[in-house]
Every structure is written in C-alpha cells, then in structure tokens.
Amino acid sequence: MTQSRQSKEQYWKISLLILIIFMGIVLFREMAPFLSGFLGASTIYIMVRNQMKYLTQKKKLRRSMAALLIVVEATLCFLIPISVAVWLLINEINGMNLNLSFYISEIQHVANLIQEKINYDLLSTENIMSAAAYLPKIGQILLDSVTSFIINSLVLVFVLYFMLIGGAKMESYLYSLLPFNDHNKKDVIHSINILVKSNAIGIPLLAIIQGIIAMIGYVIFGAPNPVLFGFLTCFATILPLIGTALIWFPLAAYLALTGDWFNAIGLAIYALAVISNIDNLIRFVLQKKMADTHPLITVFGVIIGLTLFGFWGVIFGPLFIAVFILFLDIFKREYIEDKRGSKNMTDAALLKEKE
C-alpha cells in the first residue's frame, strides 16, 4: 500500500512538473514582447523598495497610496530626461539649414571626395537603388520600435504598481522558491541587488558624462552639430566594444574628407585618449564603489543582454552572467567540495577502525 502511494505521488509530482514547464514555455513565448516592461518594472522595484518600506512603515501611508506616489515619481524621473532630450533634438533639428539643395550639394561633394581618394562611386545607380530598397524596412523598424516602447512603458507602470502593492508577499514567495539553503539564498539576493543598482545608476551616469565630454571635443575640433552628436554619443555608450566610435569616427572621417586634416586628427586623438579612457575610468570607479564586476562580464553581458532582453539587457545581461557564475560557485561549493570532503572523512574513519 505504501509502495503504491509513493508511486502515485511520484507520478503526480512528475506530471505536475511537466505541466508547469509546458505552460511556462507557452506563457513566456506569448509574453516575450512585453519582457522589457517586466524587466524595467523589476529594475525600478529593486531601486525603490526601501522607499516603499519607509512610506508604509515610517510614514504610515496606505500601500496603495505609497505605490501610486512612487509610480508617479518613477514616471516623472523617466519622462523628464526623455522630454529634455527630445526637446534638445528638436531644437537642434529646427536650427539646421533645411535647404535641400545645400544638403544635396554637400552629399555630392563628399561622394566626389570619396571617388577621388579611393576611386569608389558612392552615388552609383546600384548604391542608390540598394539604399532606396532599405528605406521601407528602416521605417517599419522605427515604427515597430516606437510602438513597442509605448506598450512596454505602459506595462512597466502597470506591473510596477502591483509589485509595490504586493512587494513583501512577492519577495517571500520568490525567496521560498529559490533552490538553495538560507546562506546561499542571501548571497544570491545580495548579488542581484548590488548588480541591478550599480548598472541602473552607473550606465545612465556613464552615458551622460561621456556625451558631455564628447560634445566638448566636437565643439573644440569644429564638428558639425556638436549638441546633436553629443546627444547621440550618450546612446552609443550603451553599445559594447564599438560604443562612442560609432559617432566620433564618422565625424573625424567627414572632417578628413572635407580637407580639415588638423581637426580630423585632433578629434580622433581626443576620442581615443579622452573619451575612451573616461569610459574605462568611470566604469572602474563605479565597479569599485558599487559592484566589483569583472570588465569581461560587463562587455559580454551587454552583448548577450541586448539580444535577449532588448534595451534592459544593458542591466540584465551582466546580471545574467554574474548570477550564472554565482550558481556555478554554489554548485561547486555545495555538491563537489563537500562531497569530496565527506568522502575523505569517511575514508579516514574506515582506516582508523581497521587500525
């Protein structure tokens, strides 16, 4: 009877596990387009959870009211920088000369310079046809990106509110599901908190500082539209390896093609000596102050994270790799080193008995 009962329980356990995995895969596939919203809400929740505790425990506010205040605060902190950036971009575009003939002549001039230098016809019929074929695709990508951004922003606000409302219960439930002992659970939670906070604060700070320093260089060396390209450099810092070179290298090349070799070389030297080293310096300081993460984890984490998680991959990519390494370390410590140690103790005990 006992054997039959155990067999049934084993069957129920395996069947339930299969159902959970199957339904989890289906849900993940269907909710993948909203993943950025969930990751963004999780990031902000980790950043403001102590503030939520302060408002509910110290100030005795209702959880719904405290959650609403924090959501409004997070929305304003998120929208205000974006609004300022868009305002700067629109002002810069409005200040540009909109004379089409001027830009056509400039493009023709650059194309002639390229043909003279490397004997390549940039404005050949084949190149123009290829560029025209890509325009609808670029427009569709931009439209999809804007739509996805708006939808995921709404998901972020909605999910964040309910995460704040049920924060304590949610944390307790997730904590109980972690497949570790209490000591390892604390290590995992601590690592996640530190890494999320360091990336959430460090990446925007790094982007702003590098964008300002790059803009100063663009002004000094006579690059066109320094404010606009300084703004674009802020976003380029997110990309690993290439990063700011995606902006300053074409600018230096443009200056060289127009015959301004002095400023072209000066901008290239400034970018390599100052902009790139500021990146490394700020990352080093932030890592030492907040999370001592190896640079390779950051670089490869961002590369993998952008593919897996989209924009929020700059935070969750390095976190993913760091937690994976932590899990390996826990497995080694708990199930390899302990077993070896217990085996050695058993062998020693047997030898002692034989003596």
Mean pLDDT of 189-193: 82
Q: Which residue has the higher pLDDT, 24 or 2?
A: 24
Single-letter amino acid, residue 142: L
Tokens encoding 52: 């939520």
What is the pLDDT at residue 294?
66
Mind listing the pLDDT tens digit for each residue in 200-221?
777 778 888 888 899 999 999 9
* Residue-averaged pLDDT of the chain: 78
What is the pLDDT at residue 351?
45
How do the domains of the chain map onto residue ranges? 181-355
| Residue 172 neighbours by CB distance under 10 Å | 11
Tokens 């950025």: give the residue: 36
Mind listing the pLDDT tens digit for each residue in 84-102?
666 766 666 666 555 556 5
What is the longest distance spanned by two Cα atoms in the chain? 100
What is the pLDDT at residue 18?
92
Give this prediction's pTM: 0.74
Going by C-beta distance under 8 Å and a sequence separation of 6 or more, which residues neighbour residue 92?
Answer: 225, 227, 228, 231
